[in-house]
Amino acid sequence: MSFLNTLRQWDQAVACVDQGDVEAALKAFLDIEEKNSKISFNIGCLHLANNDLRAAEKAFDCSIGKDEHLAVAFFQRGVAFFKKENFEEGLADFSNALRELRGNNLIDYKPLGLSYKLYASEVLHNMALAQAQQGQWDKAQESLLSALGLKPKFRHVELALEAILKQKLFDLVEIHPRLLFKPNRNYVAELEQKDYLGKAKVVASVVHKDEFSGFAPLQPQPEDAPATPKAPEVLRALKGEPHTVLYEFSPETSDELAVLPGNIVFVLQRGDDNWASVIFNERRGLVPYNYLEPLDITTLSKQGQNGTPSGADEIPAPPFKNPPARPVRHSGDYNNVTSELRRSQEPSGCIVKVHCSYTVVITALPGVPYETLLQRIGTKLNLPASALSLSYVRSGERVAIGESEMTSVWHCMRSGRLTLWCTLSEDPQENPPKKSVQALALYAYEPSSPEDLEFSQGDIITVLSKVNADWLEGQCNGKIGIFPASFVQTLHKN
């Protein structure tokens, strides 16, 4: 089935749900041959609304199988397990949903087509209910206390905590059954064919009884006219080699570019990892090269009557704004996340996010000993390793890390990423913090990789170090990362 047919059936099924015909919508979804993760999620939600828990579980299994980082699918499958009174499996899925939130208070799925925000406090609310069903009242209380510490605060969490203190159960948080992933409206708008020119009609023609309905009437042709080849049109490629897109590609990171079959892109560079840097609609991004096919286009210079190029009529190349060069990382530097690690399909190191009084990111080879990992985190935090204690989440519970726990810790790594928590075991007197420089953010900066620092216009940033001529490392809003030096203005030194 083509992408257009899938898109058309998907849009029709969503329209049936909006009209209240759930059965017709479910049939339309099931008739789609190539179901992506979002379509499988929609099928699971409709089965869940019909209380067909077994079918809902299978649909959510398919959705998670196609996208193992879809937190809302883990959440919905946890609801299905809970209603089947399989509380242990439900607790595991709620824990997986919390893990995929990756330390954030919420995920807004509206850019992906689902008008819903999944809050960490709601996930913890359902975790607490599953724990209470298994008689784990103390753990349920800890989950709800963690939920109360997050923003925004919900009244149902406070009521649930009051019920837990009395060892009573409370209501489950559920997603409205008619909230579904909808297809991209821009793609749907292209399904309808538009006749912008209309059909031409001959008003007058020099040819007798001319009924031609094209764009121009027939013209009398002279006999024995010399055959003169028509000069081809000049096609000027702005930059790069032209290629045709063979398959649809949906980006998963901010570095990648969305393209559809039939689009023409200009390849700037092809890497050894089979990814190509391309330009499409004045935007740059990465696209798999095996999704592209070279386009045979002959570019000719415009010739004058004497055969010399007419440079006065050439279209000037558009201005190019090159971003500042990113800092060069060395393979042995474990205190920074390299840009190559972000683009590689098989990264050589694990991205470790460490939550302390602020959040830092380092890289480490999977399997490194506990003392080595602790030393690198201490270096990043500018604190002695002896003053730090590490922990991680296992089965929804925070567990302290020692040398004997490292094997279990590395087994918790997912897609080359690991999240740890760091606390101070004592008040460190050695290694006092260095004097810092304050800077004012002139523009907002949105991160494109884990090592970048996000801030808004007007924020005050503590500059920790200079990476190179174009990039600085700093701290803002409890996080540490790098950012372009041209985005800030130095204020004063402490």
Give start-end residues of each CATH 3.10.20.90 domain in the chain. Answer: 339-424
Q: Which CATH number fits domain 339-424: 3.10.20.90, 3.40.190.10, 1.10.3720.10, 3.30.70.20?
A: 3.10.20.90
When pLDDT is averaged across residues 407-433 and rounded to a whole number, the result is 72
Task: Say whether pLDDT at 311 is over 50.
Answer: no
Interval 368-401: pLDDT, tens: 888 888 888 888 887 888 888 888 888 777 888 8
- Please give the C-alpha separations between residue 449 and each of 239, 255, 342, 453, 454, in angstroms, as whole numbers: 27, 9, 7, 9, 10
| pLDDT bracket for residue 117 (50, 70, 90) | very high
For residue 468, the model assigns a pLDDT of: 81
Mean pLDDT lowest among 152-156, 174-178, 300-304, 440-444: 300-304
Looking up tokens 């030096």 gives 485
| pLDDT bracket for residue 341 (50, 70, 90) | very low
Mean pLDDT lowest among 168-172, 291-295, 320-324, 490-494: 320-324
Mean pLDDT lowest among 112-126, 183-197, 228-242: 228-242
User: Is residue 274 classed as helix, strand or coil in its secondary structure?
Assistant: coil
Helix 37-49 and helix 71-83, axial crossing angle in degrees, nearest 10: 30
Among 123, 30, 144, residue whose Cα is nearest residue 71 = 123
Give start-end residues of each CATH 2.30.30.40 domain in the chain. Answer: 241-296, 437-493
Q: Residue 288 has which token pair? A: 């798999």
Among 453, 447, 448, residue whose Cα is nearest residue 467 = 453
Rounded Cα distance between 420 and 32, Å, is 41
For residue 473, the model assigns a pLDDT of: 84
| pLDDT bracket for residue 2 (50, 70, 90) | confident
Residue that wins the pLDDT comparison between 429 and 452? 452
| pLDDT bracket for residue 174 (50, 70, 90) | very high
Looking up tokens 């380092």 gives 362
Helix 87-100 and helix 71-83, axial crossing angle in degrees, nearest 10: 170
For residue 371, the model assigns a pLDDT of: 87
Rounded Cα distance between 461 and 488, Å, is 8
Interval 199-218: pLDDT, tens: 666 566 555 666 655 555 55
Against a cut of 0.75, is the pTM above it?
no
May I ask the CATH class of domain 3-165? mainly alpha
How many CB atoms are located within 10 Å of the residue 312 CB?
A: 7
Mean pLDDT lowest among 153-167, 296-310, 442-456: 296-310
Fold of 241-296: SH3 type barrels. (2.30.30)
Give me the architecture of the 437-493 domain, per CATH.
Roll (2.30)
